[in-house]
């Protein structure tokens, strides 16, 4: 979950180790806090669907296996997006092209959410639901990270890693 300590940590790390201008640092800190919130919400949403499926569907049911595989695909795509962001930040790319990995993550996650929803509520009409909009992938994250000095950038990347990476089906 996202806690006040997360906001404090992002702010403190950036301020303590900051060497860029105060204005760009402040903007980057705000953007990083918003990104952390969005990414934690994405993780929480997906993990809640997994827990709901695990408690509501018999593991021997073929649909259980389909939802599990869909989650693993979404998790891999989502974590690949995070890997791309981290790589861009570590190599100091402020404007990398993440559109392909972001689109893949959003599409795979939307497919998982739709499949899980149909599994949990088979009679629900999901045609009007914009599952793709449920997942928010912050734009400009590599740029915001690049505004920070190397040490604080790595500390924040490590913190994001702990808080926003999706866990495997079995870990949930």
Q: pLDDT tens for residues 107-121?
A: 999 999 999 999 988
Alpha helices in the chain (DSSP H): 4-17, 22-56, 62-90, 99-120, 141-146, 150-164
Q: What distance in Å separates the CA atoms of residue 35 and residue 102, rounded to the nearest whole number? A: 14
Q: What distance in Å separates the CA atoms of residue 141 and residue 81, rounded to the nearest whole number? A: 11
Q: Phi-psi bin for 82: left (phi > 0), alpha (psi -120 to 50), beta?
A: alpha
State residue 112's pLDDT score. 95
Average pLDDT of the chain? 83
Question: Whole-prediction pTM value?
Answer: 0.80
Q: pLDDT tens for residues 84-114?
A: 998 988 888 878 888 999 999 999 999 999 9
State residue 129's pLDDT score. 65
87: phi then psi, degrees, rounded to nearest 5: -60, -45
């Amino acid at each position: 979950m996202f806690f006040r300590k997360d906001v404090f940590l992002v702010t403190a790390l950036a301020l303590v180790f900051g060497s860029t201008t105060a204005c760009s640092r402040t903007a980057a800190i705000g953007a990083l806090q918003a990104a952390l919130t969005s990414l934690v919400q994405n993780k929480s949403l997906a993990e809640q669907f997994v827990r709901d499926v695990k408690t509501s569907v018999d593991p021997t049911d073929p649909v259980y296996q389909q939802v599990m595989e869909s989650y693993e695909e979404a998790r891999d795509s989502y974590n690949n997006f995070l890997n791309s962001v981290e790589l861009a930040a570590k190599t100091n790319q402020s404007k990398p092209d993440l559109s392909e990995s972001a689109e893949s993550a959003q599409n795979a996650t939307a497919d998982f959410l739709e499949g899980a929803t149909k599994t949990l509520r088979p009679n629900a009409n999901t045609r009007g639901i914009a599952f793709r909009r449920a997942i928010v992938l912050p734009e400009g994250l590599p740029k915001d990270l690049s505004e920070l000095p190397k040490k604080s950038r790595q500390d924040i990347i490590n913190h994001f890693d702990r808080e926003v990476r999706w866990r495997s089906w079995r870990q949930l």
